[in-house]
Amino acid sequence: MHRALLLTGLLLWLAATVLLRLVGQFVLRSSAWPSILILFLLSFALMAWLARRLCARFRLPPERWPAGAVSLALPTLLLDPFSSAFFSVVFPNVASSMAGVFGGWMLICCAGALLGATIQPGARH
């Protein structure tokens, strides 16, 4: 466990939750599959990039990046199940029908972070 990345993940989770509570109706507004697909793909790529940048910023050796990504994603994995379960209370400005999209979005974000920190450029297995 990397404490600085865990704290960073917690701060990112808190900031994103507050932001989504304030303007979530503009982000999670359509259940149309093309909108969801674009949101998921962009978020996956952004989180893969962010996890790599943060692992490098905290000067983790590349072999420790997967553990760093777990530390970064852990707050989302532990706290957003509650955000999903109590979606209409946590995000009263977002249609409750978007709770499933939100849950999937959080999973794709974590998957992006984990994959981004796991794949090493030029590595052969």
Give the global pTM.
0.91
Residue with tokens 């989770």: 13
pLDDT of residue 79: 98
> Which amino acid belongs to residue 114?
L
| CB 108 within 8 Å of CB 40 | yes
**Structure-block tokens of residue 119:** 């794949």
| CB 2 within 8 Å of CB 67 | yes
* pLDDT tens digits for range 48-95: 999 999 999 999 999 999 999 999 999 999 999 999 999 999 999 999
